[in-house]
Chains A and B, each alone.
Chain A
Amino acid sequence: MLLIPCPWCGPRDECEFRYGGQSHIAHPAAPASLTDAEWADYLFFRDNPEGLFTERWFHAAGCRRWCDVVRHTADYRVLTSAPCQGGPSGGGEW
């Protein structure tokens, strides 16, 4: 069971959250100008590392805000959590 540190509510049980997948996928600035391959990449392709992964969690049964969590996908250790900002992650060691 994961214990996810919500930046606003503190450590909470995973079952209060919804998973949002890889963080920092920016919506293309000019979608109409993308090639099919670029559009496919935006829609369907995500990193899938065995190791550290920056991912979004939504505190659905709590403050109902999104956070960026850095978690290890092999041993499931949670390293950091910060408010979801859309920028590059790393800030806000919890």
Chain B
Amino acid sequence: MTPDHRQTGRLWRSPEPRAGYDAVIVGSGGHGLATAYYLAAEHGMADIAVLERSWLAGGNMARNTAIIRSNYLWPASAAIYEHALRLWEGLEEELGRDLHFSRRGVLNLAQSTHEVRESVRRVDADLLSGIDAEWLEPEQVAELVPILDTGPHVRHPVLGATYQPRAGIADHDLVAWAFAAEADRLGVDLIQDCEVTGFLRDGDRVTGVRTSRGDIEAPRVGLCAAGRTSRLAAELGLRLPLQSHPLQALVSQLLEPVLDTVVMSSATHVYVSQAPKGELVLGAGIDAYNGYGQRGSFRTVEDQVAAAVELYPVFAHADVVRTWAGIVDVTPDASPVIGPTPVEGVYLNCGWGTGGYKATPGAGQVFADTIARGRAHPLAEPFGLDRFGTGALVDEHGAAAVAH
């Protein structure tokens, strides 16, 4: 992806870390950058730093397939993802930059009678939550996606699909760089090559972080470290219900336009969109095993390509030119964990797993508010760590599983 050419010069300073800040955010993925932006823009907290162990937005933010939608099942999820989608709808204006936000719609195929029932139920639930959702019969699916084989001979025949017209994609790099540039402009220090290795504490209260570039004092610390959150939490003696998994994606060479929407198949673990330049972008489910290696197994690539070629016979002419992986932090209910922790001043934003890109502005705004006010934002309340003890899970496996 190319930088925004209207911009000249550097998008952000690269300052040396100072001895202390009002707050530090750990991790400069989309969530960390958005959190810093909203802290500065909406809470007047500009004395903050975002600390990044590697380069800015080079983790899952650079590796995701950029799908944005809000058609989740439960009211708690619908509320936070729809909040994010509304922010996406005004984000280019808010940040003053082109983000290639394209509302091209997302279809989630139903390929078994169980999936049909579950999908129709989700459409109904979404309508009650005020989210645009439609159930499409196979003929309507065929009309929207002519290259999709909707015939009965397919191993898992297409029996219909849920459709969210307002869903779509946006360029993940442009989004990260826009949040970074605006946060920097508001005075936030973005510090790369600065790994947080531990915490400074005064009893049950955090007073700062230990980093590869020295100690930094801060009474508030927000964790936005995605797949590496368990490691940080372990430094606090905090055990989290997270498992880190590789999640892979791939692209083809540049092709003529054949697909102008996003289509996901949970049954066969493959989803696809076509980027503006022309490459097909394909994603899969997670690799089953735990992994921090930012790479997965070839079987996942093979399975997803086999599934894709059966659903879209024309793809047999395409080549895989590049595959890659990120490390995603998966929770038992496929919903995020957001809110305070037992350590005063430490706030968690994690567990977004395979689907946190779409939440970027919403997660950032909600998390910034949570950090600034020292309590969970109302939209974050259902997503506290305590839900695993009370049993009030927000089970989104049906809406989230392979579908990002």
Contacts and interface: CB of A to CB of B under 8 A. Distances in A.
Contact of A74 (B242, B288, B292, B299): B292
Interface string B223-266: 00000101100000001111110000000000000000000000
A45 B241 contact: yes
Contact of B389 (A1, A15, A40): A40
Contact of B243 (A15, A18, A21): A21
A92 to B, nearest CB: 20
Contact of A46 (B243, B288, B299, B389): B243
Interface string B134-149: 0000000000000000
A94 B32 CA distance: 44
Contacts of B389: 36-37, 39-40
Nearest to A19: B288
A60 B83 CA distance: 43
A1 B360 CA distance: 32
Interface in A31-79: 36-37, 39-41, 43-46, 48-50, 53, 55, 71, 73-76
A19 B293 CA distance: 17
Nearest to B244: A48
B129 interface: no
Overall SS of chain B's interface? loop
B388 interface: yes
Nearest to A15: B299
Given A19-B289, A76-B293, A14 B332 contact: no
Contacts of A15: 299
Contacts of A46: 241, 243
Contacts of B297: 1-2, 14
Given A1-B298, A14-B299, A15-B299, A73 B290 contact: yes
Given A1-B299, A14-B299, A15-B299, A45 B388 contact: yes
A13 to B, nearest CB: 8
B146 to A, nearest CB: 33
B289 A55 contact: yes
A36 B297 CA distance: 37
Contact of A45 (B239, B288, B289, B292): B239
Contacts of B243: 21, 46, 48
Contacts of B198: none
B394 to A, nearest CB: 13
A39 B290 CA distance: 23
A80 to B, nearest CB: 16
Contacts of B244: 48, 50, 73
A55 B388 contact: no
Interface string B275-299: 0000000000000111111010111
B390 interface: yes
A13 B295 CA distance: 17
B289 A44 contact: no
A23 to B, nearest CB: 12
A39 to B, nearest CB: 8
Nearest to B330: A48
B333 to A, nearest CB: 9
B390 A36 contact: yes
Contact of A44 (B228, B230, B241, B299): B241
A17 B389 CA distance: 32
Nearest to A17: B288
Interface of B: 228, 230-231, 239-244, 288-293, 295, 297-299, 332, 388-391
Interface of A: 1-2, 13-15, 18-19, 21, 36-37, 39-41, 43-46, 48-50, 53, 55, 71, 73-76
Given A15-B299, A19-B289, 11 more contacts: A40-B389, A43-B332, A44-B241, A46-B241, A48-B244, A48-B290, A50-B228, A50-B244, A73-B244, A73-B293, A76-B293
10 contacts: A1-B298, A21-B290, A36-B389, A39-B389, A48-B230, A48-B242, A49-B230, A73-B289, A74-B291, A76-B291
